Amino acid sequence: MVKLDILSDPICPWCYIGKTRLDRALAQRPDHPFTIEWHPFQLNPDMPPEGMDRRAYLEGKFGGKEGAVRVYGQIADAAEEDGLMLNLGAIERTPNTLNAHRLIHWAGIEGRQTPVVSALFAAYFEKGLDISDLEVLLQIATDAEMDVDATRRLLQGDADSADIRARDAHARQRGVGGVPMFIVANQHALSGAQPTDLWLQAIDEITEQIRTKTPTDSTVH
């Protein structure tokens, strides 16, 4: 198997689009060699714990209302082309994603990481839910068949918060400035929402490399 590490933030629209494109390739290559692990990267590491008004956040980030409308219009168009209908108007607040990343980390321990990542994207971008809210996160954990009682206890404290922040900081120190970031076999980095065709090509090439390196049975019978 080949490790595919993905740095992402569940409030990053291009991460959602990038995951959708990758998922489409994986579905077309069910025997793909990838073992996937998700890693934390906060778009807004200094976001207050309670988050902030989404309109104010976007206008501040993109230089006013016109800039925000232009950027998110492009995002909505790209998402629609990939079959995603983002309900951006339903999002009232931009959350702090530390707790969402903690949930993703614990989901990895329980072997539920990708379903939880998928659910976080859908909750935020399609349902407009606050994915910093305890009950929202616990419902996602429940749907993913995680240990909900343990998850509740962990979320009510600060378990692994320092670790998530440290991993985020380490990624930045290594030069990661944005997400999604895909790292293949700890060697090849792909930045941005890569097209499905590129992933299909990569999977086919890696699969062929693995096949040709597999020793054949030369035993004489």
Which pLDDT tens digit goes with each residue over 127-168?
Answer: 999 999 999 999 999 999 999 999 999 999 999 999 999 999
Per-run averaged pLDDT (10 residues), the chain, 221 residues: 97 98 98 98 96 96 95 95 95 98 98 98 98 98 98 98 98 96 96 98 96 58 35
Q: Choose among 131, 168, 159: nearest CA to 7.
A: 168
pLDDT score of 213:
84
pLDDT score of 99:
98
pLDDT score of 122:
98
Question: CATH number of the domain at 2-45+96-213, out of 1.10.357.20, 3.40.30.10, 3.30.413.10, 3.40.190.10?
Answer: 3.40.30.10
* Cis previous bond, 180, omega within 30: yes
How far apart are the C-alpha atoms of 219 and 122, rounded to whole Å?
Answer: 53
Domain spans in the chain, listed from the N-terminal domain onward: 2-45+96-213
How far apart are the C-alpha atoms of 36 and 179, rounded to whole Å?
Answer: 16
Contacts 24+ apart (CB under 8 A), 151-159: 151/103, 151/106, 154/102, 154/106, 155/99, 155/102, 155/103, 159/102
- Beta bridge partners, 189, equal 183
pLDDT score of 14:
98
Q: Which residues contact 141 (CB under 8 A, 6 or more apart)?
A: 103, 107, 116, 147, 148, 151
pLDDT score of 214:
61
How far apart are the C-alpha atoms of 67 and 73, rounded to whole Å?
Answer: 10
| Residue found by looking up tokens 């569940």 in the block | 10
